[in-house]
């Protein structure tokens, strides 16, 4: 769980500086280089603070320090606090979960907003939920078909609709030169 609520953030902030000397916090450091910057993330996690927090199902409290240098060599520093119910996860797993949160944002929400234009949609009154389900289904079908670039796959399927129909198991059948085209379900 990320500390989105002010209450959780204050609880973690109040307790984390006072780690128990009996058992020091688990610490993991990760260094990355890419996108024009160098970045160091340090996660401190502890079970010892669970009794001090008035928070249901708390398993661990963690603090993530993030330090990075941009392309101009300027240093930036950020601290985030986390409260999680994952009592059995170690510090490295918690940091991986924290980093993995952005895969959802980049893999689904960004594609829905930018590629499929969800934010520009003017559908109102009950329709937005249906359209979100249709967009999620389309993204899921394309990913299942092995597509990595959803924008390119969408353009390709616009130009070749029979490919899009094949994703849902339909194929075009021509009945004759004068009869209309019909659809057939391809059972596998």
Domain ranges of the chain: 1-106
Instruction: For residues 83 and 47, give the distance between their C-alpha atoms in angstroms, rounded to a whole number.
Output: 10
Q: Has residue 8 got a pLDDT over 70?
A: no
- For 129-185, the pLDDT digits (tens) are 888 888 888 898 999 999 989 999 999 988 988 888 888 888 777 665 555 555 555
Query: Would you say residue 65 has pLDDT above 50?
Result: yes
Instruction: Give Dmax (Cα) for the chain.
Output: 85
Residues 61, 50 contacting (CB under 8 angstroms): yes
Specify the pLDDT at position 129. 85
Residue owning tokens 């240093």: 75
Q: What is the CATH number of domain 1-106?
A: 2.20.130.10
Of residues 186 and 165, the one with the higher pLDDT is: 165
Measured CA to CA, the distance from residue 148 to residue 119 in angstroms comes to 22
What is the pairing mode between strands 26-34 and 37-46?
antiparallel
Q: What is the pLDDT of residues 40-59, one digit of tens each?
A: 999 988 887 777 777 788 88
Rg of the chain in Å (alpha carbons)? 24
């Amino acid at each position: 769980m990320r500390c989105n609520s002010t209450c959780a953030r204050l609880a973690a902030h109040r307790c984390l500086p006072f780690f128990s000397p009996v058992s020091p916090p688990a610490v993991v450091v990760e260094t990355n280089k890419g996108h024009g910057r160098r970045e160091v993330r340090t996660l401190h996690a502890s079970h010892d603070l669970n009794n001090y927090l008035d928070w249901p199902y708390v398993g661990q409290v963690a603090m993530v320090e993030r330090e990075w240098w941009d392309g101009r060599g300027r240093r930036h520093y950020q601290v985030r606090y986390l409260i999680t119910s994952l009592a059995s996860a170690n510090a490295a797993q918690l940091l991986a979960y924290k980093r993995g949160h952005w895969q959802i944002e980049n893999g689904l929400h960004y594609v829905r907003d930018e590629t499929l234009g969800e934010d520009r949609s003017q559908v109102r009154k009950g329709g937005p939920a249906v359209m979100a389900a249709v967009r999620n289904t389309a993204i899921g079908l394309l990913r299942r078909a092995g597509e990595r670039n959803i924008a390119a796959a969408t353009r390709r399927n616009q130009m070749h609709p029979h490919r899009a129909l094949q994703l849902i198991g339909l194929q075009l059948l021509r009945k004759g030169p004068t009869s209309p085209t019909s659809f057939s379900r391809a059972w596998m």
